[in-house]
Structure 1
Amino acid sequence: MTEVAPAQLEPMPDDWRRALAVVAHPDDLEYGCSAAVASWTDAGREVTYVLATRGEAGVDTLAPAECGPLREREQRASAAVVGVSTVEFLDHRDGVIEYGTALRRDIAAAVRRHRPELVITLNHRDTWGGTFWNTPDHVAVGRAVLDAAGDAGNRWIFPELTEQGLEPWSGVRWVAVAGSSSPTHAVDATDGLDRAVRSLLEHRAYIEALTDQDPEEYVRGFLTGNARETGKRFGDRPAVSFELFSR
């Protein structure tokens, strides 16, 4: 039987100026799509990061009161490597984020503040490729981002935001999900891959707690391996994939 080749990925839209990336934890974007972010900021586009937590429950050997500030510092340094200067934290509790109106409202407020055309998040489905179980935080935040992109444009869903001076924003044109097992689009990672490696390496405390492997060897192997595999569906160029939802 002839094996069917996987469908090729389309290039991500490039007719936008502002993007907002909303994820659960420090390091989520670095594992998911920072090579794409580097290429976007190189092109003069503005990318802002919003994190639901400070990742305070992410290192077993560090108490949350110590871990949270450390991981915040690592995230800010990591973002700077790929040209992102604005990093905000919503201060939901790491590990127990709840999907619901409070989370949607916080993300809708961020969308109204930053007024992006493109919103980015991480895999919101139950599994990673049907193989590994996803974390509740990723599922809750990813799903809330998809909903809040619409909430941000409706003045009657969270009227208190308008009272706070955050006018509705209906300008979100797409929500892009990194790490999806059903990708539709991709970004060439050739120019951004080395900075993506350096960006993830800024999360050294987390990585050193995660693996006994040399941090640079681990990070470079993970990111280049994923980019190479994605590139098989994108003209054999290293790439970062997204599942793109139009609005």
Structure 2
Amino acid sequence: MTEPTTSQLQPMPDDWRRALAVVAHPDDLEYGCAAAIASWTDAGREVAYVLATRGEAGIDTLEPAKCAALREREQRASAAVVGVDQVDFLDHADGVVEYGPALRRDIAAAIRRHRPELVITLNHRDTWGGTYWNTPDHVAVGRAVLDAAGDAGNRWIFPELTERGLAPWDGVRWVAVAGSGNPTHAVDAAGGLERAVASLLAHRTYIEALTDEDPETYARGLLTGFAEETGKRFGDRPAVAFELFAR
């Protein structure tokens, strides 16, 4: 009996100039996606971040107001490591982000403002690979991003955005979902992996509250493991996987 073959991941499209990454919390992009972002900025592409919350409910030992300010600083430092200098926050409440028109409108506004061809988000499904339950914030934001990519180009949805000077943008060609249990494409992570580790380490306060393991050992082991596992489906090169939705 022959062993079943593992489906190979396709290279991500590279004929684009601007990307917008929209996620729920500080650190969401650093858990596996930052190596791809580093490779894109190295190639001269523009990448901006939009976060729905400031992660203020993420550290049990810090009250939300202090936590929000700290996590914002850590996120900006983290983004800079991989060549991203534009980081915006939508100020939805951490832990109770609601999917609906208000969230879709805020994300559509960000898409109209940044005018990306590629939009990146995090797993919007109920589970991680069918095994671990996802958080409501990830589900709400990921689903809203997929919908807002269309909303951004429709002048009759959220007409108040046009009144604010944000003209419709129908230029989103793909939405790439990181952390998906059904990946279709990948990006070579070799050139960006060290900066991805440094980018995750910028969230040191969060990591130290999360684990007793040495932060660098934790970050390096986690990201290297993800990249090597993905690489088994991408020519045995360390890689970052995405589920790609074309528009």
Residue 5 of structure 1, CA deviation: 1.7
- The alignment status of 1:193 with 2:193, answered yes or no, reads yes
Deviations 1:107-155 (A, max 9, x none): 0000000000000000000000011000000000000000000000000
* Cross-structure match for 2:4: 4
Opposite residue 180 of structure 1, the aligned amino acid is S
- The alignment status of 1:28 with 2:28, answered yes or no, reads yes
Residue 6 of structure 1, CA deviation: 1.3
Structure 1 contact 104–147 (Cα < 8 Å) conserved: yes
In 1, the alpha carbon distance for the partners of 2:49 and 2:2 equals 44
**Structure 1 spans left out of the alignment, 5+ residues:** none
Matches within 5 A, 1:175-194: 175-194=175-194
Secondary structure of 1:26 counterpart? coil
Secondary structure of 1:160 counterpart? helix
Matches within 5 A, 1:62-211: 62-211=62-211
Residue 2 of structure 1, CA deviation: 2.8
Secondary structure of 1:167 counterpart? coil
* Cross-structure match for 2:232: 232
Structure 1 contact 174–244 (Cα < 8 Å) conserved: yes
* Cross-structure match for 1:52: 52
Structure 1 contact 32–122 (Cα < 8 Å) conserved: no
Residue 32 of structure 1, CA deviation: 3.2
Opposite residue 5 of structure 1, the aligned amino acid is T
Deviations 1:85-116 (A, max 9, x none): 00000000000000000000000000000000
Secondary structure of 1:181 counterpart? coil
In 2, the alpha carbon distance for the partners of 1:82 and 1:33 equals 11
The number of residue pairs the alignment matches comes to 247
Alpha-carbon RMSD: 0.5
Opposite residue 240 of structure 1, the aligned amino acid is V
Deviations 1:219-242 (A, max 9, x none): 000000000000000000000000
With normalisation by structure 1, the TM-score equals 0.99
Structure 2 contact 32–226 (Cα < 8 Å) conserved: no
With normalisation by structure 2, the TM-score equals 0.99
* Cross-structure match for 1:246: 246
Structure 1 contact 178–241 (Cα < 8 Å) conserved: yes
Structure 1 contact 180–243 (Cα < 8 Å) conserved: yes
Runs (4 or more) in structure 1 with deviation over 6 Å come to none
Deviations 1:166-194 (A, max 9, x none): 00000000000000000000000000000
Opposite residue 61 of structure 1, the aligned amino acid is T
In 2, the alpha carbon distance for the partners of 1:11 and 1:33 equals 15
Opposite residue 23 of structure 1, the aligned amino acid is V
Structure 2 contact 20–47 (Cα < 8 Å) conserved: yes
**Structure 2 spans left out of the alignment, 5+ residues:** none
Residue 3 of structure 1, CA deviation: 2.5
Secondary structure of 2:29 counterpart? helix
